[in-house]
Amino acid sequence: MSSLLLNPNRAFFPLSRQVLEASFSSLCSISNARIPLGSRPTAHRVVGFKPRASRDSFDAEALPESNTKKKSRNNNKKIILFGSTPPPLSEERGGSAGNASGKPAAEGSSWVFLQRAFKRVLAVLSNLPLAIGEMFTIAALMALGTVIDQGEAPDYYFQKYPEENPVFGFVTWRWVLALGFDHMFTSPVFLGMLILLAASLMACTYTTQIPLVKVARRWSFMHSAEAIRKQDFADSLPRASIQDLGIILMGAGYEIFLKGPSLYAFKGMAGRFAPIGVHLAMLLIMAGGTLSAAGSFRGSVTVPQGLNFVVGDVMNPNGVLSFPSLAFDTEVHVNRFYMDYYDSGEVSQFYTDISLYSLDGKELMRKTIRVNDPLRYGGITIYQTDWGFSALQITKNGEGPFNLAMAPLQLNGDKKLFGTFLPTGDADSPNVKGMIVIEDAIGSSGLDLKTDPGVPLVYAGFGALMLTTCISYFSHSQIWALQDGTTIIVGGKTNRANLEFRDEVNRLLDEVPELVTIDKNFNG
C-alpha cells in the first residue's frame, strides 16, 4: 500500500479536485459535498504519456528510510476516510480460552443454554410462514366477530346457538361463551394472537431487518476485477479515471468512498430502514387496537330535558386495562332537547344542549350536539344517538300543568310510538269529563359515552405505515469500481428497479470523460 501522500499517524483529509486530477494512483478521498454540474469535465482530458513507476519502487525511492521503518511499525493502524469511522465489521470479541470471566463453570453452561434457547425461539418466531398464518388467523377471528353478535346477554346465545341444532354441526353457545367470542376483540384468543404476531414482528426485526441495515451501512472496497464482474451489473470503461467516475457519481446523489485504485458508492440507504419502520407502525396499530378493546369505557343513557347525571355512573369498563380518569367525576346537564322535522312530519335531526359541571358546580363546557357532531372533553366523547319523549305536559279544565310520564310502545318497523295513561279517578264520578289540553311534550335525549385511549396510537401507526411504505420504494444501489491501468472495471447491484438501475449507470458511465494521451514533445 502506497504511503506517498499519507503519513500513517495522520488522518485522511478531503482532497481538492486539482489533486484528484493530478494522479489517480495515489490514496485520496472525496468529500461529501456535491460538485456543481458545471464543474464536471465535459471534454477529453489530456495527460502525459510518461509511464508511471510502480508504487513499491516509487515509495522506496521517495520516502526516507526512517519513514519506511515507521510505516512498517504502524501498518496495522486503521485509516479513517472523511473524518469518520465506518461501522464495525464485527463486534468486539471478548474473552479468551477457558472461563476468563471468572464465572463458575455451571453458571457459564447455564448462560450458554439460555442463549441457545433464546436464539431458537427467535428463529421460530421470525419464520415467515408462521407470521402469515398469524395474520390470516387474526383476519378470520375479526370476520367471525362481525358474524357473531357482540355483547349480548347469555340468553341470546342460548337461543341463537342451541345445542340441539348447532351451527355448522358443532358451534353451540358453549363454544361461543367459553372462547369469549361474545366479546371477540377482548377475548383471550384474539389478544393472544395479537401478542404472538407482535412477537413475530419484533423477532423478524431483530434477526433479519436490523442485520441487513448493519450490512448495508458498511462500506467495503473490492480489489479484484473478477469479484466486480460477478455483480448484477458489470461493465468496463477504457481510457478513464476513477476520480472522474467518483465526481460523476457524486453529482448523481451517491455517497463516494475512494481508496487508491478502488471506489465504493451507494445511495438510497433510507429504503433499508423502511421495513423496520413498517414493523414498528404495525406494532403501534396493534397496541392501539388492543388498548381500545381492553382499556376503554362505554355507556349509554336516556336523559329527560332538565335533568343531569354523573359520567362515572353510566360508564362500564371493557377490559382489564380500563382505568377511570378524573373526567369521570364530571356532571352532565341536559339544558334543552329539540328536533327538526321534514315536511312529511318525520324527524330530520335532533339536538341536545349540554353543559358540563365540576363537582363544585363550576361550568366547564357547553355545547349543542347533534348526530355526527359529538362533544369531547377529557378523553370522553358524548354522542347524540337517540331521542324519545319522557313526559306529556297537560292542563285539565284550566288547572295544571300536570306531567304524565310516557313510555315507548313495541311496534314492528322503525317508527316510534309513545303512550301514557290519563288518571280519570272513579268512572262513576261526575268529574271524569272535562277538557284536557296538551301544553308540551318533554323530550329525552339518548346519549352514548365512550373513552378510546388507543385512537392516537392507531392514527400514529397508520400515518407511519403510509410513510414507511412509500420510503420502502427507494432503491438501495451500490457501485464498485477498480482502476486497472487506464481501464475502469465497474459493477453494481440494487435491491429493486434493476432495469432503471442499469439505465442510470450506463448514462453515468457515458458522462465520464475519456483520457487522451499525447506525446510530451508535441509542440503544437
* CATH number of residue 506's parent domain: 3.30.310.80
Task: For residues 256 and 320, state if they share a domain.
Answer: no
pLDDT of residue 377: 94
Identity of the residue numbered 297: F
What whole-number distance in Å separates Cα of residue 358 and Cα of residue 325?
14
Q: Is 283 a domain residue? A: yes
Number of domains in the chain: 4
Angle between helix 498-511 and helix 242-251 axes, rounded to 10 deg = 120
Within 98-187, strands assigned E span none
Task: For residues 121 and 256, state if they share a domain.
Answer: no
Q: Is 289 a domain residue? A: yes
pLDDT of residue 389: 80
Q: What average pLDDT does range 454-458 have in this prediction?
A: 93
CA–CA–CA angle 398, 400, 402 (5° rounding): 135
Total Cβ atoms within 10 A of residue 61: 8
Local confidence band at 431 (pLDDT 50, 70, 90 cut-offs): low
Task: For residues 316 and 442, state if they share a domain.
Answer: yes
Q: Is 47 a domain residue? A: no
Place of cell 461529501: 32
Local confidence band at 353 (pLDDT 50, 70, 90 cut-offs): very high
Q: Is 23 a domain residue? A: no
Task: For residues 324 and 445, state if they share a domain.
Answer: yes
Local confidence band at 430 (pLDDT 50, 70, 90 cut-offs): low
Q: What average pLDDT does range 72-95 have in this prediction?
A: 39
Task: For residues 154 and 191, state if they share a domain.
Answer: yes
* DSSP code, position 497: -
Q: Is 506 a domain residue? A: yes
Residue 33 has pLDDT above 50, yes or no: no
Task: For residues 161 and 245, state if they share a domain.
Answer: no
Q: Which cell numbers hold the place of 45?
A: 482530458
pLDDT of residue 111: 86
Q: What average pLDDT does range 228-235 have in this prediction?
A: 93
Q: Which domain holds residue 279?
A: 270-296+452-474
Q: Which residues contact 56 (CB under 8 A, 6 or more apart)?
A: none
Q: For residues 32 and 265, is the Cβ–Cβ distance under 8 A?
A: no
What whole-number distance in Å separates Cα of residue 291 and Cα of residue 285?
10
Task: For residues 363 and 445, state if they share a domain.
Answer: yes
Q: Is 34 a domain residue? A: no
pLDDT digits (tens, 9 = 90+) for 99-128: 444 556 666 788 888 888 999 999 999 999
Task: For residues 461 and 398, state if they share a domain.
Answer: no
pLDDT of residue 515: 84
Local confidence band at 65 (pLDDT 50, 70, 90 cut-offs): very low
Task: For residues 368 and 482, state if they share a domain.
Answer: no
What whole-number distance in Å separates Cα of residue 308 and Cα of residue 314?
12
What whole-number distance in Å separates Cα of residue 116 and Cα of residue 121?
9
Q: Is 48 a domain residue? A: no
Q: Which cell numbers hold the place of 83?
A: 473524518
Q: Is 323 a domain residue? A: yes
Task: For residues 131 and 255, state if they share a domain.
Answer: no
Of 168-172, 189-193, 236-240, where does mean pLDDT reach its minimum? 168-172
Task: For residues 313 and 397, state if they share a domain.
Answer: yes
Residue 362 has pLDDT above 80, yes or no: yes
What backbone torsions phi and psi does residue 460 show, to the nearest 5 degrees? -65, -40
What whole-number distance in Å separates Cα of residue 157 and Cα of residue 459?
35
Task: For residues 368 and 439, state if they share a domain.
Answer: yes
Local confidence band at 42 (pLDDT 50, 70, 90 cut-offs): very low
pLDDT digits (tens, 9 = 90+) for 280-308: 999 999 999 999 988 999 999 999 888 99
Residue 34 has pLDDT above 50, yes or no: no
pLDDT digits (tens, 9 = 90+) for 187-214: 889 999 999 999 999 999 999 888 888 8
Of 39-48, 151-160, 361-370, 472-481, where does mean pLDDT reach its minimum? 39-48
Total Cβ atoms within 10 A of residue 473: 11
